Amino acid sequence: MSDERKLSYGQAFNEAVSQMMEADPDVFCAGEDIGAFGGVFGTFLGLQAKFGEHRVVDTPISEQAIVGLGVGASVTGLRPIVDLMFMDFICVALDQIVNQAAKLKYMFGGEASLPMTITTAGGGGLSAAAQHSQSLEALLCHIPGLKVVMPSNPYDMKGLMISCIKDNNPPVMIKHKRLLGMSAVVPTEAYEIPLGKGNVLRPGTDVTIVAYARMANEALIAATELAKEGIECEIIDPRTLQPLDTDLIVDSAKKTNRVVVVHEAVRFGGLGGEIASQIQELAFDYLDAPVTRIGAPFSPVPFSPALEQHYIPDAKTILTGVREIMQRNVIRG
Amino acid sequence: MEISTTKQFDLHRRMVRIRLFEEAAGRLAEANRLPGFLHLYVGEEAVASGVCGALNDDDHITSTHRGHGHLVAKGGDFNRMMAELMGKATGYCKGKGGSMHISDTSLGMLGANGIVGAGSPIAVGAAFANRYRGRGQVAVAFFGDGSTNIGAFHEAANMACALHLPIVFACENNEYGEFTPRHKTMAITDIVDRAAGYGMPGVIVDGMDVIAVHEAAVEAVERARPGGGPSLIEAKTYRYYNHHGIQNLGLKYRPDEEVAAWKQRDPIFTFEDRMIENGVATREKVDEIWAELKQDIETAIQFADDSPYPTPDQIMVDVYTKSSTSSTSSTTVGTKS
């Protein structure tokens, strides 16, 4: 019953990498502890044993050099997967990501391509405190030349990761740490989910919830509750934040007339602002209420579970947000 | 090491090409005919020429903000270089990179770089790819003394040594990080001292002596190519002009006597004297080379002048490479700009 075979989110990532390495000898992985140890989250488990030390490379703790390795290897023809253990560590490598990987093609007048994938693990909920819990996707989405991918489930993870590896640009694949153990049916064969194509996770008529990564799952929980109250939520998971499937979001907004955008990142300057702005530019006349943004408060991620549980949005926060937006009535002229 | 007559002329030609290109660029900049920043390589010609003269066409180099010399030494085309400096559509980067990002990946020149130190990690990646493919290519990271104070250099040097990659670190120690003398920014005199800290051999050479640079480069490349690992060459050299442009912005940060002393040891003129003295060249032959290459520069300036500027519709071109698998493109909505 291979059709029913289940994989965790982490295993789906691993299988995508493994199948692409089998298919293309130019694909290699490099990062901290990803070899014999399999990565601190186990997402590279078994790959070095399968493909050898020359293709699954343990690197020094040197984030700039890790991304630089990817830049130099990709611009000279390989297809690297370079791993930054925690998303917070992109800040250590930001020059290579922002000033080099994202821009070389453009600065060289198109005479280069960088088919490299940067993989990392983001998100909170593990009491990992302010330097190991961040959601910094907005930072990356602001950089022309990068792609930003944040899967919410194992099926999407595999298909999106394969697309990342095959892409001739540098995507940043952000695994959510709290989703690594999430299990679901994942096809055994290799398949692609195009970057830039969102997904309707749940069809609905009354309100649109735009949510990605772990928040898409929290939105699903909230939607089940809200259905009991007679509110049918349509959940849009953009899956890729850069490029963003604006058409899908705007079409849904036009249908439901109310939109709640949810992310784990701090609200100020987050993707929610961009998404809300796109909606008001393209569907202003359809809206019955201002777009609601749900995100974390403007503080670093706190350590104590007593604080963090109130910091990260969840199904309850989304329930409140949706109930509030449903109560706003706009009288149309 | 016996350097053949052919190789001596080859090294000389690379140096003269750099000198002529840079002097021309400087003149154009003084006449306000080049937009943006210009970091001239004049004075340091022996380093790029000596090293690139030891490389094969398919070997890779990374460069610095002072990158014209490296591209010329790797075989860069004057026309496309000059056009790029002017921001023209026919330039190496179609007018999108300019002086600080000039590159020719087909020559293995992976770009000048506006970020000090950023080229070294990229060279490590190229070296990794070269070993991975097993075609015997090497990579060279050119960098200045100042960039050895930035983290990227240390990460790159350590990783290259940890992974035992086929790479040469070629330091152009011109004694100034922008406008600040080296002794104020590091407590060591010789950059080569850093090499031991990563576990690689290092050598100091006279960066005004193209033969000395070339011999050191040949040795380093011959070590790296068959798997002998990284090494570092520190070439003591000097830039004649300002950090950027030609003038000193009215501020003296280098004594006149110091500049004059280095110019006495000019890498091209001293080499020509040696070639003539050794009977390798004649004054007439040398003059002939200069005249011929000067003509190439005039042609390049004319080509650049005659070339069109890129049209505004090119702004959004080449932000992304078309994916091999799906038609992804940056979705810009709203104003559709």
Model confidence pLDDT, tens digit, residues A129-174:
999 999 999 999 999 999 999 999 999 999 999 999 999 999 999 9
Residue B324 lies in a domain: no
| Minimum-distance CB partner of A168 among B103, B129, B321 | B321
Residue whose structure tokens are 């089940």: A224
- Assign A308 to helix, strand or coil: helix
Q: Are A106 and A56 in contact (CB under 8 A)?
A: no
Q: Is B105 close to A75, i.e. CB distance below 8 A?
A: yes
Chain B residues lying within 8 Å of A64, measured CB to CB: 121, 151-152, 155-156
* Spatial separation of the C-alpha atoms in residues B51 and B125, rounded to whole Å: 19
What are the CA-CA distances from residue B268 to residues A66, B23, B94, B207 (Å)?
39, 14, 32, 11
Here the CATH number for the domain that contains residue B113 is 3.40.50.970
Pairing of strands A147-149, A240-242: antiparallel
Chain B residues lying within 8 Å of A73, measured CB to CB: 125-126, 128-129, 132
Give me the domain span that covers residue B165.
Answer: 5-311
What are the CA-CA distances from residue A10 to residues A21, A120, A224, B35, B140 (Å)?
17, 12, 26, 50, 38
Question: How many Cβ contacts (< 8 angstroms) between chains A and B?
Answer: 201
Share of chain A above pLDDT 70, in %: 98
pLDDT value of position B248: 59
Residue A333 predicted with pLDDT over 70: no
Give the torsion sign (CA, B81, B87, B91, B92): positive
Cis ω on the peptide bond leading into residue A243 (within 30° of 0)? yes
pLDDT value of position A3: 61
* Spatial separation of the C-alpha atoms in residues B323 and B315, rounded to whole Å: 19
Q: Is B331 close to A108, i.e. CB distance below 8 A?
A: no
Residue B255 lies in a domain: yes
Q: Is B321 close to A73, i.e. CB distance below 8 A?
A: no
Residue B334 lies in a domain: no
* Spatial separation of the C-alpha atoms in residues A122 and A219, rounded to whole Å: 18
Residue A179 predicted with pLDDT over 60: yes
Query: Which chain B residue has its CA at the smallest distance from A60's CA?
Result: B159
Write the single-letter amino acid at A149.
Answer: V
Query: For chain B, what is the total number of helices (H) and then of strands (E)?
Result: 11, 7
CB atoms within 10 A of CB B273: 14
Domains of chain A: 2-185 (3.40.50.970), 199-327 (3.40.50.920)
Write the single-letter amino acid at B271.
Answer: F
What are the CA-CA distances from residue B192 to residues A58, B4, B46, B148 (Å)?
27, 29, 18, 10
In tens digits, chain B (337 residues) has pLDDT values of 899 999 999 999 999 999 999 999 999 999 999 999 999 999 999 999 999 999 999 999 999 999 999 999 999 999 999 999 999 999 999 999 999 999 999 999 999 999 999 999 999 999 999 999 999 999 999 999 999 999 999 999 999 999 999 999 999 999 999 889 999 999 999 999 999 999 999 999 999 999 999 999 999 999 999 999 999 999 999 999 988 888 755 578 899 999 999 999 999 999 999 999 999 999 999 999 999 999 999 999 999 999 999 999 999 999 999 865 433 333 333 333 3
pLDDT value of position A2: 52
Q: Catalytic residues of A, which ones?
A: 132
What is the pTM for the complete model shown?
0.95
Residue B325 lies in a domain: no
Residue B331 lies in a domain: no
Residue whose structure tokens are 């153990």: A181
Residue B264 lies in a domain: yes
Residue B328 lies in a domain: no
Q: Residue A329: which pLDDT band, with cuts at 50, 70 and 90?
A: confident
Buried b (16+ CB within 10 A) or exposed e, A145-184: bbbbbbbbbbbbbbbbbbbbbbbbbbbbbbbbbbbbebee
With 0-12 / 13-18 / 19 or more C-beta atoms within 10 angstroms meaning exposed / middle / buried, residue A332 is: exposed
Predicted-complex ipTM score:
0.94
Closest by CA to B9, choosing from B297, B292, B307, is B292
Q: Is B328 close to A64, i.e. CB distance below 8 A?
A: no
Closest by CA to B47, choosing from B3, B14, B2, is B14
Q: Is B330 close to A77, i.e. CB distance below 8 A?
A: no
Residue B321 lies in a domain: no
Q: Are B85 and B77 in contact (CB under 8 A)?
A: no
Query: Which chain A residue has its CA at the smallest distance from B106's CA?
Result: A111
A251-294 pLDDT, tens digit per residue, is 999 999 999 999 999 999 999 999 999 999 999 999 999 999 99
* Spatial separation of the C-alpha atoms in residues B129 and B259, rounded to whole Å: 41
pLDDT value of position B128: 98
Total of domains in chain B: 1
Query: For chain A, what is the total number of helices (H) and then of strands (E)?
Result: 12, 14
Q: Are A156 and A239 in contact (CB under 8 A)?
A: yes
Rg for chain A (alpha carbons), in Å? 20
Chain B residues lying within 8 Å of A146, measured CB to CB: none
CB atoms within 10 A of CB B270: 15
- Element housing B26 (H / E): helix B5-30
Query: Which chain A residue has its CA at the smallest distance from B121's CA?
Result: A68
Question: Length of chain B, please?
Answer: 337
Chain A residues lying within 8 Å of B127, measured CB to CB: 72
pLDDT value of position B270: 98
Chain A residues lying within 8 Å of B324, measured CB to CB: 115, 166-168
Paired tokens of A295: 């995100």
Q: Is A144 within 8 Å of chain B by CB?
A: yes
Query: Which chain A residue has its CA at the smallest distance from B114's CA?
Result: A99
Which residues pair with residue B168 across a beta bridge?
B140, B231
* Strands (E) located in A171-256: 171-176, 183-185, 199-202, 207-211, 233-237, 240-242
DSSP B210-235: HHHHHHHHHHHHHHHTTT---EEEEE
